Amino acid sequence: MSLVVENLSYEYVQGESVLSDYSLKIDEGELVVLVGPSGCGKSTLLHCVAGLCEPKSGTIYIDGKEVSQKKPYERGIGIMMQDQPLYEHLTVEKNIAFPLRARGDKKTDVSKFIDVLQLGDVAKQKVSKCSGGERRRVAFARAVVLKPRLLLLDEPFVSLNDELREIIMERIQDIGTTTLLVTHNLDSTLTTSKTIKKITLGSKTQG
């Protein structure tokens, strides 16, 4: 699934642009890392692509089709937000399986995600009792459990040690889906990306 963003602009307050005529192109299967300081519009870009924010202007194409009229769940996207809301009263296992249940799947076995992300010790524990790093891993598993064709990741490595960062990076590459990952810090974990692009305010085109 390809992603094209054309001349996207967004304002939280009228007259104060967070994104201004920003364009980006990601080919199918490509892993792209966008790097920039806090407040430069990285998260806003993801939210616009996912349909969680409505841009002031610009066009977003997913697989060559304009998606402004499509609801978030119709876009075939998996998203992991920086402050990902989770179901605090549910266990880790049930949180990860929730998208499968919501879709009506009869098989909701998520043991492979629990094993790979080293969540076995807390699988039956309520998310409300999990550490920050455990919550991030649950959020990542939730984002990929439906095998989305486009994956949006906002600071996925926060609160994770080097080993877990490597595990998640390997999982992203194993999935092979088109991925847009945003971060404020380009560390060694991300240097394996095929393509690294930077987002900066005032930048016209990336791609």
Cα-Cα-Cα-Cα dihedral sign, residues 14, 17, 18, 21: positive
Q: Which fold has domain 3-85+147-206?
A: Rossmann fold (3.40.50)
Cα-Cα-Cα-Cα dihedral sign, residues 116, 122, 124, 129: negative
Order of all β-strands in the sheet with 31-35: 77-80, 150-154, 178-183, 31-35, 195-198
Residue type, 1: M
Token digits for 104?
Answer: 């009506």
Domains of the chain, by residue range, sit at 3-85+147-206
What pLDDT score does 38 carry?
80
Q: Quick check: 188 and 166 in contact, CB under 8 A?
A: no
HEC profile of 111-125: HHHHHHCCCHHHCCC
Q: With bands split at pLDDT 50, 70 and 90, how would you rate the model's confidence at 193? A: low
88-140 tens-digit pLDDT: 999 999 999 999 999 999 888 999 999 999 999 999 999 999 999 999 999 99
State mean pLDDT over 9-18. Answer: 83
Supply the pTM of this predicted model. 0.87
136-154 tens-digit pLDDT: 999 999 999 999 999 999 9
